[in-house]
Amino acid sequence: MIGGGRGAFIGGVHRIAAAMDGRAELVAGAFSSDEMRSRASGADFFLDPDRVYGSYAAMAKAEAAMPPEKRLDFVVIVTPNHEHFGPARLFLEAGFNVVCDKPATFDLAQAKKLRAIVRRKGKVFALTHNYTGNAMVKQARELVRDGTVGKIRKVVVEYPQGWLSDAVVLLGPKQAEWRTDPKRSGAAGCMGDIGTHAENLARYITGLEIEELCADLTTFVKGRKLDDDGNVLVRYKGGAKGVLHASQVCIGDENNLNIRVYGTRAALEWYQEQPNELVVKFPNKPSQVWRRGNLYLGDEAKRFTRIPPGHPEGYLEAFANIYREAFQAIAAEVKGERIPKNLDFPTIDDGVEGMAFIEAVVRSSRLGATWVKPLR
């Protein structure tokens, strides 16, 4: 693991998710750019001190020199955005598989370079857009694919939070500090942090590709250098229209990612805070609530269900589902076998799409909410 040491929220999430199925063990890490902090974190995780490093460069060199039976099978990158590309490139070039937190890189140019490296090296690159790991998200996608929804006309996807509704960064929270710093977060704040999740969720369920968008970004909190609210109109290839909004100044909202998909035959609603339910609506009969774990669900939803109905699954299980699929690819790569084509986890291609979305949103807003096309 690179990053994710003491005080880091997302590092703990990755460690839980990766270990949930008993298929991976944390054995090494460079957990902080501060060597003493990294070594203290390694002690927290009961690691061999010889495999706790003061930098990711030192880790790459030492681990690459180890015999195959001992060296790492993959590395997990859970640093702020500006420290994604460097370690990902270094470890891919050294022959390691990579799992990276989203967004893939600091900017679109880096994402395209990383895509070229992944393709050239033939290694696994998994990107943790974790919400697509939810079983009922997969059920929603199946209802689109099998024609139940019909031709999609409109997509509304929202991600409102309220945790940055004031200058909380002045109070010193680590998570807020780097997310509001353009040198570490990138060109976008809220849109880069959570707007990309909304874009990815909509694309995953519907299969639609953005043709052009019109965005209006706002920074409401005085002194903040990046957007904390954004509204986007979307034109999809094929004629569907979309509305995407993401905000971190919606007081009272916690993590209310949700999506509504409207087709010619039916409509779907899914809410991340009630992830075990999918609302299915028809024109001439009552709305239905489909629940995770039941026999009437499709094969994909069943495959990603871990426990019986009535026992809630949520954020961590969805994260673990992404890891479980990626592990099959990594295991095949390590053994020199062909990677199965039917595995379901986000890849570097999703990373490029996400960075193209961020770039287009920022460009559109700077041009006065002008319609622009993503530069994939």
For residue range 223-264, list pLDDT tens digits in order.
999 999 999 999 999 999 999 999 999 999 999 999 999 999
Intervals of CATH 3.40.50.720 along the chain: 2-130+322-348
For 50-98, what is each residue's pLDDT tens digit?
Answer: 999 999 999 999 999 999 999 999 999 999 999 999 999 999 999 999 9
Q: How far is CA 200 from CA 35, 44, 130, 240, 346, in A?
A: 35, 34, 10, 16, 9
Cα pseudo-dihedral 244, 249, 253, 256, rounded to 10: 30
DSSP 261-274: EEESS-EEEEETTS
The pTM of this model reads 0.96
For 86-141, what is each residue's pLDDT tens digit?
Answer: 999 999 999 999 999 999 999 999 999 999 999 999 999 999 999 999 999 999 99
pLDDT band at 173 (very low <50, low <70, confident <90, very high): low
Intervals of CATH 3.30.360.10 along the chain: 138-298+352-366
Q: Give the DSSP H/E element, type plus range, for residue 371.
A: none
Q: Which CATH class for the 2-130+322-348 domain?
A: alpha beta
Cβ neighbour number for residue 307 with a 10 Å cutoff: 11
* Alpha-carbon span 169 to 226, nearest angstrom: 12
Q: Is 203's pLDDT higher than 60?
A: yes
* Alpha-carbon span 368 to 252, nearest angstrom: 30
Q: How far is CA 137 from CA 159, 301, 302, 321, 327, in A?
A: 15, 8, 12, 12, 21
| Mean pLDDT, range 11-40, rounded to an integer | 96
Confidence (pLDDT) at 168: 66
* Alpha-carbon span 199 to 203, nearest angstrom: 6
Task: State whether CATH 2.60.40.10 applies to domain 138-298+352-366.
Answer: no
Q: Enumerate the β-bridge partners of residue 280.
A: 268, 288
